[in-house]
């Protein structure tokens, strides 16, 4: 009997590490992909900027071959693809450059599509699923997040469209987290404990989310969710998406 395998991009970030730990702990063969070097709970770690596979077809074929070789060596089938890698370039309408837009959209939107396309047959053969890590910014955003919010809105749209297009062949869902406690988020609030506390309390749940909570939902969507659950963008936001902020 073949083992279950999962590809996780952005594996060395806060959410990425939690994803790797979750799937590894539950017996999955974990194939981790990240543009940085580092160690994580995985059977294979590929140092790869996912943008590099977009237009370099030779490199794309090499990337695919490496993963197929691991699946063969581990006697595993590809049960899941988690498109987690993302960048967040902050800037407003008057400051964002064409380069900012290109890098954001290629990383957060185009690469997830190409990766999904690249492993369609393996996912279908394993009755697998795709999980896109979107964001609360798909619908609710704030100043300075123009490129990021646009890319996540499009990623959620891609999730729904792919689910319709693929039908019963492969389930496709997205997770849309609000603030998640990662080292990157904490660094952004360094020296500002009051603002960080205010961020937590702005969520009706009374806190921000944890990477393990994202990972737990991702594993459910790949391993345990009913077949009828496809094309959904699941909010993980501590109810902040339902909260009205007004000046009174």
In this structure, is the dihedral angle defined by the CA atoms of residues 88, 159, 94 and 196, taken in order, positive or negative?
negative
* Residue 133 main-chain phi, psi, to 5 deg: -90, 100
Cα separation, 35 vs 48, whole angstroms: 5
Name 176's bridge partners: 235
Report the run of H or E that residue 177 belongs to, with start and end. strand 171-177
Cα separation, 224 vs 11, whole angstroms: 22
> Three-state SS string across 181-217, please?
CCHHHHHHCCCCHHHHHHHHHCCCCCCCECHHHHHHH
> Three-state SS string across 3-50, please?
EEEEEEECCCCHHHHHHHHHHHHCCCEEEEEECCCCCCCCCEEEECCH
Q: Which residues are catalytic?
A: 148
* Residue 80 main-chain phi, psi, to 5 deg: -155, 150
Cα separation, 34 vs 45, whole angstroms: 8
70, two tokens: 């691991």
């Amino acid at each position: 009997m073949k083992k279950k395998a999962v590809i996780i991009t952005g594996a060395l970030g806060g959410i990425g590490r939690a994803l790797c730990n979750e799937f590894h702990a539950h017996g999955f063969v974990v194939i981790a992909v990240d543009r940085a070097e580092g160690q994580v709970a995985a059977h294979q770690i590929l140092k790869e900027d996912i943008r590099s596979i977009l237009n370099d077809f030779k490199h794309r074929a090499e990337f695919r071959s490496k993963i197929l070789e691991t699946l063969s060596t581990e006697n595993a089938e590809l049960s899941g693809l988690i498109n987690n890698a993302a960048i967040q370039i902050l800037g407003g309408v008057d400051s964002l450059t064409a380069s900012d837009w290109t890098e954001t959209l290629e990383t957060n939107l185009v690469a997830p599509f190409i990766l999904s396309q690249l492993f369609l047959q393996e996912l279908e053969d394993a009755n697998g699923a795709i999980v896109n890590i979107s964001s609360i910014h798909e619908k609710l955003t704030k100043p300075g997040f123009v490129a990021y919010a646009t890319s996540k809105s499009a990623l959620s749209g891609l999730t729904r469209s792919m689910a319709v297009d693929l039908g019963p062949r492969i389930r496709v869902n997205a997770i849309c987290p609000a603030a998640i406690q990662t080292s990157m988020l904490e660094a952004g609030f360094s020296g500002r404990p009051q603002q960080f506390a205010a961020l937590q309390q702005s969520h009706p749940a009374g806190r921000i989310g944890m990477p393990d909570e994202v990972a737990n939902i991702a594993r459910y969507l790949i391993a345990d969710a009913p077949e009828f659950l496809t094309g959904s963008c699941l909010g993980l936001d501590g109810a902040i998406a339902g909260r009205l902020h007004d000046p009174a």
